[in-house]
Amino acid sequence: MTSSRLKSVVVILQGLTSHNRFLQPWRYLTEVAIQLNRIGHDVRIVTDGSADCTEWSMESVPVHVLPSVRNSIVWPNRLLARSVDRWKPDVLVWGVGVTSFLHQRFFPMLGRKQVGIFSSPIYTTQDLAKLGYVRLLRNFDLSGIHILGAITPRSLLQYQAVNSGLDIVVTQTLTTGRKLVQEYGIRQVGTIPPAIDPIWYDSTELLQQEENLCDKNQFIIGYIGPPDVLRGLPRLLSAFANLRSQRRDLKLLILNRKSGQPNDKKTEYIHNQIERLELKKSVELVDGILSPMQLVELCRRADLIALPFEIIPSEAPLSILELRALGKPLVTSQLGCIPELSPGLFAYFAEPGDQHSLENKLWAAIQEVERSSRKEIAQSIPNARRSWEEFGLEWSRLIEA
């Protein structure tokens, strides 16, 4: 690469903090900045997420914190405009979702290309109606933005999206990219999938160790993620209780990644449900913050993983990619981009929010998994190995062009 092709880039994203940077959608957006910076582009991040500091850095990428990075159609953000004008970037990269087209005004500045990273699943009112609006409203923290996007007139969203001023919109999956083209009329759409950390990559040696150490007297179903209702954990517990009435050797391992707080009502609800269903002896719930290595080691114990999403909060859940790279059979949902992220054998798709469907898929998966060794299963799952460095090269080619 010659220096003349290197660009100055400003990445604008809402709500970034030092605590959520490893969660989607912030992980994807920050990796764009980090990887472009490693290649040699001049990159900075602008956010409104860290109220406790005015400026910090992320792996040598400067992070500038403003009171707000919203540039409303009604109330222009003059401080953001002045900051961008002072830095004079070649390329502006924005984090966007469906509702961004309703309120966000992008800067139509001559000579500055603008890229939108689309990080929101696209739902219709029919999709959400299947889950029940009462259920959705009770869990508004996850569903609210999706309800707003679904009920907004499609013609208005189409008009705003086409006239947004973005030169290209980049999605994380082909599924969402096709929807933007077909349903919103956006023509300049590209797809650059996310990557995963190398700790999730499998090896023959680790597979052999896993085969030797697994408990032959138990069949372990794993769950990883927060205990939110719309991520499917309560339905999974109910389905597990019914299955265990037929198979007493089943065990559920819950890796609660949003716990450790004494006033965490969602975790308290899960504890109460475990007690109500009389599952205390067959469910292991691991609370608190786990290191990446601890997380991988606990996931290796499971014979299969269940991630029965009822809503995907953000595009391309990395947990699916990580667990497939680990060679794990997966029971998940026929929802949005999930089938695209989990191709090949040993992937089972239940109808979102349907407990009967979830039970059937779990039962089918258990029977099929028991007929194969862990090594055979892992070798039947397509290789999901993709590094963040490869991801960065794809982004660099886009930025240079």
> Which helix (DSSP H) or strand (DSSP E) does residue 145 occupy?
helix 140-151
Average pLDDT over residues 205-227: 73
Q: How many Å apart are CA 252 and CA 176, to the nearest integer?
A: 32
Most confident of 48-52, 106-110, 161-165, 296-300: 296-300
Give the pLDDT of residue 153.
85
Q: Do domains 3-195+387-400 and 198-380 have the same CATH topology?
A: yes
292 is written with which tokens? 């990446």
- The residue count for the chain: 401
Planar angle of CA 100, 106, 112, nearest 5 degrees: 140
Whether residue 204 has pLDDT greater than 50 = no
Whether residue 2 has pLDDT greater than 50 = no
Name the phi and psi angles at 52, rounded to 5: -85, 0
Average pLDDT over residues 348-368: 95
Whether residue 347 has pLDDT greater than 90 = yes
pLDDT, tens only, 371-389: 988 888 888 888 778 899 9
Give the pLDDT of residue 263.
53
The domain ranges of the chain are 3-195+387-400, 198-380
Q: How many Å apart are CA 50 and CA 67, to the nearest integer?
A: 9
More confident residue, 152 or 172: 172
Which has the minimum average pLDDT: 80-84, 205-209, 226-230, 333-337? 205-209
- Assigned fold of 198-380: Rossmann fold (3.40.50)
DSSP assignments along 364-400, one per residue = HHHHHHHTS-HHHHHHHSPP----HHHHHHHHHHHHH
Give the pLDDT of residue 217.
82
**Domain 3-195+387-400: which CATH class?**
alpha beta
Average pLDDT over residues 45-52: 76
pLDDT, tens only, 53-80: 556 778 889 999 999 898 887 788 889 9
Would you say 229 and 139 are in contact if contact means Cβ atoms under 8 Å apart?
Answer: yes
Whether residue 3 has pLDDT greater than 70 = no
DSSP state of 230: G
Strand partners for 385: none
Give the pLDDT of residue 260.
45
Say what the pTM is. 0.90
Would you say 334 and 272 are in contact if contact means Cβ atoms under 8 Å apart?
Answer: no
At 144, the amino acid letter reads: G
Band of residue 144 on the pLDDT scale cut at 50, 70, 90? confident
The number of CA neighbours under 13 Å toward the Cβ of 212 is 6
Q: What mean pLDDT value characterizes the chain?
A: 87
Give the pLDDT of residue 53.
56
Would you say 84 and 65 are in contact if contact means Cβ atoms under 8 Å apart?
Answer: no
